[in-house]
Amino acid sequence: MKKTIYTFFFCLYSLTLIVASNGIKEGIIKVIPFKNNSQIGFENLQLNAKSNIEIVWNDNYAIPSFLTGNLTSPGFVHEQTMQRDIFSYLSANKELFGIVNPDKELELLSSYKDELGQTHAKFQQKINNVKIFKGQLIVHFQEDGKIIGVNGKYYPTLKFNDIPNITENEAMNLAKNFLQNYSLSNVQTELLLIERNLSFYLCYAVKVPSKFYPNMKVYVNAENGEIIYKDDGIRFDGPITGSGIDLKGQMRAVPLYILGHAYLINTTLPMYIPPVDSLKGIITVYDAKNDTSGNGYQSAELIYDPNGDGIFNDNENQKAAISAYLFVQDAYNFFKTNFNRNSYDDAGHSMINVVHYKQSYNNAFWNGASMTYGDGDNEQFSNLAGAYDVIVHELTHAVTERTANLIYENQPGALNESMSDCFASVADSSSWLIGEEVYTPSIANDALRNMLNPHNNAASQTTGWQPEHMNEFVMLQNTEEEDHGGVHVNSGIPNRAFALTAESLSRKKAGKIWYRALTTYLTNNSSFSDARNACINSAKDLYGDNSNEMNVVKNAFETVGITGTGNIQTIDLVYDDGNPTTYVYEESGNYELAVKFSIPSPNVTLTKCQIYISGEVKQGGNGGFSLVLIAQEMTGILTNI
């Protein structure tokens, strides 16, 4: 009975082993290592040795990974018969090293004699001419022919089925598909046995050389065609020159940085401070991936070349990145060459760009940390990363922030906007149009703004129109709804002053005068009048008192109605904080509407004040009525007393 029970459990155990051995994961091949008796082998070695032997074991296979000592007598290895003598030694110690036929399993890779007279012979392990990728062993012997060491990562003789399921051609095609648009030439394949985490894979190493990655290899599982891994062969980090297609469809040379992948990181400019991972003084681009969740930056990722060929032609999304990347490089050089400004902070701050912000986003902006560009909806705008003037405009916001820091409201805000347009028009001097390359792609020759003719062929106070003289100054409130007092509207007036100056002198000269004004004279609350005085004084500094340049600037400002004193001031009318306010609201079941405001400064008079409110009456759910405010308008002229 007892015997029967034992037999039953033995059968059950055997069955479990059989099931387990058949349950090998797909793609991993079954390998049977030679069962060496390392203990006996080591005892034999010690017996023959003339001194102590030190050994470090490879516990996975019970073979030595590092063996040192007087392993043989002198004269064992001769230079002329080195391989045969070493194989003879390994064969004699088969129980210890586990290598059954060294002459068939080892191939000499190299040997060299060092300054101590020791020779080091390195061997590659293989079975049936299939290279065991990670199997290498080095035998060390002295000048007198005594073997004094054996070390390496190798395996006891392995038995496995070396007939692959897929052909070399299939492996090449799989590698090609994996690398996508990679141009294949001089492709080579080699069948290998690879060990990863104690599992063995029969695979093809497909070598796919390219200009930037001469040693690119893709390892394809020869059993099931899966890609095991890719090795780009790059053993250094550093800058290279790659290429990429921009939004105009042109192939452009681009500076790249290899850091595992090939990234759009420009380290070639004077502002760069190594090491690259400190991210100092670089230009780089992130892809926001059109993510609309949260703040739009949730998925932003540094852009790199997915197939590693150094050519950014892999997908449409790369085009905006290439355009932004190169335009920002040009913008850096523009400020450096013309104004000796080293990045926007003049201290080599890195320039971070984000493309593909949100979806069909018709805008670009400086957010205090990065320049961000939308793709546009292709009706109002095409991709905003595709226009040099847009990029210089945004970069100038960063320059303004680090210099005069003009407050983004009312006249200082309009000056802030104007400065961005002015420097954009110096950098991109093809016309006086702003944003013409990306604005309404289906309509030719139009633009978002026109600096020389701010009316821009648009009806008064409609999109595209800007005032060109102070007598057209648009009084708007400092609210989001009214563009913070019309910062994108009234910028037309100083824009025209700049354009008139540049037409008379040159854009370069006008740029120098405005740059000096921005960086030397303007303060955060400067008005149009202050800008006039700043520009006149800059011209005087640069070209002399009563110089032609100074008079041109003075005339330009006078032409647009900006005088030295007594300009119209934009001052917020402050709504009374008490009850009621200007809004319709519910109070104890009643609806009330009132307008009440005060002028913030006693030194100001308000004339020609008009308040316009219209709305429609709606019946509320509880039987009451409410007036739904659909428009309110207030105009007036405030004059300093």
Partner 1 sequence: MKKLKYFLFSFIILFAFQSCAGSKNSQKATQHLKYNIVYGSGGGFTGVRTGKFIDSLGVVSKWEGITFSKAKRVKIDSLSQLQIKKINDYLIKNPLDIYTLNESGNSTVFLTLTNSKNETKFSWKENESSSKLPAKIKEFYQLLLDISKNN
The answer to whether 224 and 201 are in contact (CB under 8 A) is no
Give the nearer residue to partner 1 in terms of CB position, either 331 or 489.
489
**Which of these, 489, 487, 473, lies nearest to 569 by C-alpha position?**
473
Burial classification of residue 584, based on how many CB atoms lie within 10 Å of its CB (0-12 exposed, 13-18 middle, 19 or more buried): middle
Give the nearer residue to partner 1 in terms of CB position, either 446 or 482.
482
Minimum distance, C-beta of residue 585 to partner 1, in the bound complex (Å): 5
| Residues with Cβ within 8 Å of residue 189, at least 6 apart in sequence | 168, 171, 172, 204, 205, 206, 207
Give the nearer residue to partner 1 in terms of CB position, either 39 or 598.
598
Minimum distance, C-beta of residue 379 to partner 1, in the bound complex (Å): 13
168, two tokens: 């070399």
The answer to whether 401 and 381 are in contact (CB under 8 A) is no
Minimum distance, C-beta of residue 384 to partner 1, in the bound complex (Å): 7
Give the nearer residue to partner 1 in terms of CB position, either 470 or 629.
629
**Which of these, 545, 484, 540, lies nearest to 513 by C-alpha position?**
540
Minimum distance, C-beta of residue 370 to partner 1, in the bound complex (Å): 7
* Strands 130-141 vs 188-196: parallel, antiparallel or unpaired: parallel
* Strands 283-287 vs 351-357: parallel, antiparallel or unpaired: parallel
Of 488, 503, 558, 592, catalytic = 488
What CA–CA distances, in Å, run from 100 to 36, 106, 125, 447, 601?
Answer: 9, 11, 12, 80, 100
The answer to whether 371 and 384 are in contact (CB under 8 A) is no
Q: Mark residue 348 as left, alpha or beta (left: phi above 0; alpha: psi -120 to 50; beta: remaining).
A: left
The answer to whether 534 and 422 are in contact (CB under 8 A) is no
Give the nearer residue to partner 1 in terms of CB position, either 49 or 627.
627
The answer to whether 471 and 399 are in contact (CB under 8 A) is no
| 320: phi then psi, degrees, rounded to nearest 5 | -65, -35
Got the DSSP string for 155-207? -S-EEE----SS-HHHHHHHHHHHH-SPPP-S-EEEEEEEEETTEEEEEEEEE
Minimum distance, C-beta of residue 512 to partner 1, in the bound complex (Å): 24
Binding site for partner 1 (CB under 8 A): 294-297, 300, 354, 362-370, 372, 381, 384, 390, 393-394, 397, 407-409, 417, 435, 448, 461-463, 474, 476-477, 480-484, 486-489, 575, 577, 579-581, 583-587, 591-592, 618, 620-622, 626, 628-634
Minimum distance, C-beta of residue 299 to partner 1, in the bound complex (Å): 11
Of 95, 356, 393, 394, catalytic = 394
| 498: phi then psi, degrees, rounded to nearest 5 | -65, -45
Give the residues across from 137 on adjacent strands: 123, 152
Give the nearer residue to partner 1 in terms of CB position, either 341 or 449.
449
Give the nearer residue to partner 1 in terms of CB position, either 47 or 617.
617
Give the nearer residue to partner 1 in terms of CB position, either 391 or 552.
391
Give the SS3 label for residue 248. Answer: coil
Minimum distance, C-beta of residue 409 to partner 1, in the bound complex (Å): 6
Q: Give the C-alpha separation, 569 to 428, whole Å.
A: 33
Q: What CA dihedral angle connects 291, 292, 296 and 300, to 10 degrees?
A: -10
Minimum distance, C-beta of residue 463 to partner 1, in the bound complex (Å): 6
Q: Say how many CA atoms lie within 13 Å of 582 toward its Cβ.
A: 19
Give the residues across from 359 on adjacent strands: none
The answer to whether 239 and 268 are in contact (CB under 8 A) is yes
Give the nearer residue to partner 1 in terms of CB position, either 38 or 527.
527
Give the nearer residue to partner 1 in terms of CB position, either 372 or 538.
372
Identify whether 488 is a catalytic site residue. Answer: yes
Give 432-436's long-range contacts (Cβ < 8 A, gap of 24+): 432/499, 434/389, 434/393, 435/381, 435/387, 435/389, 435/390, 436/387, 436/389
Minimum distance, C-beta of residue 298 to partner 1, in the bound complex (Å): 9
Minimum distance, C-beta of residue 381 to partner 1, in the bound complex (Å): 8
Positions marked catalytic = 394, 488
